[in-house]
Amino acid sequence: MIGKKEYFGLSVGLVSISFAAIFIRLADAPPSVVSALRMIFSTILILPFAVLSKEMKKEIRILAPRDIALLFFSGALLSLHFLSWITSLSLTGVTSSIVFVSASPLFVAVYTATALKEKISNSFWTGLFIAAAGTLIMAGGNIFAGGDSWKGDLLAVAGAVSAAGYFLAGSRLRGRISLITYIFPVYLTAAVILTLAVPICGDKFTGLPFISYVYCLLMAIVCQLAGHTVFNWALKRVKAAVVTLTILGEPIGTAILAYFILEEIPAVTEIAGGVFILGGILTVLYKNPRIAAAQKGIVDIS
């Protein structure tokens, strides 16, 4: 049973992660730099917990080479997730970007349904059809409007696919190691890769307004510590499906914040497409509890 403490925690977590896209826009810095700083700050924030964790030191020593390689692979996927999604925000609307990147549970669901090797319910296919219809509405509207919005949509989808891959790669380890043992090497790997990507993209860490660095730090503090850490806390107290469905409220929260803070009004096609996409995801997860439960580790993404 979910109590007042759990409801409050989920509410705080939802509001916190809804600020991610807003902080990215307000940072007004090159996507590669924002991506790198976000992961650098996130890694620094959890560093004390990693250093003081006896459990992590014990688990790291007994990890097989294959497990260590999987941690690095998860970090690489996480870096790809942030770089593609944050870049998408410079090309398309906040609503389109956050809805498309929030579709990662759908890609996990497709893989999980296949991996479970069980009969897939009609509601699963119905949900996929609804989500596909929403994609056509939203992407079609952006293409019709002209410009580079469609490129941003594709990058957001790439962010969703890489996020799903990140979860699937790491899910093999999460059942055997603690959260800190998992996320610290993964975050560190992502931070290193993204740092190397900055000069490759022709960008620099220096020369930005001070406020840009502040917003990147806020992403790590608010979205990571006050957001996804709370969700990981909630996972021990409520069903994983409840947490997953709560996270799907992020596009709504972000759209509301974008309206009041960025004065960005979503297009009709973005609203309609978003409703279809989120409705399709809800149909897939709500009517297929085993698939929804398998989404547990996806909240590790900040």
Identify the residue whose tokens are 């620099």: 204
What domain range is 131 assigned to? 4-300
Lowest mean pLDDT among 38-42, 148-152, 232-236: 232-236
pLDDT at 208: 95
Lowest mean pLDDT among 146-155, 163-172, 224-233, 286-295: 286-295
Average pLDDT value for residue range 239-243? 66
Number of domains making up the chain: 1
Lowest mean pLDDT among 100-114, 157-171, 215-229, 258-272: 100-114
Burial class from Cβ neighbours inside 10 Å (0-12, 13-18, 19+) for residue 180 reads middle
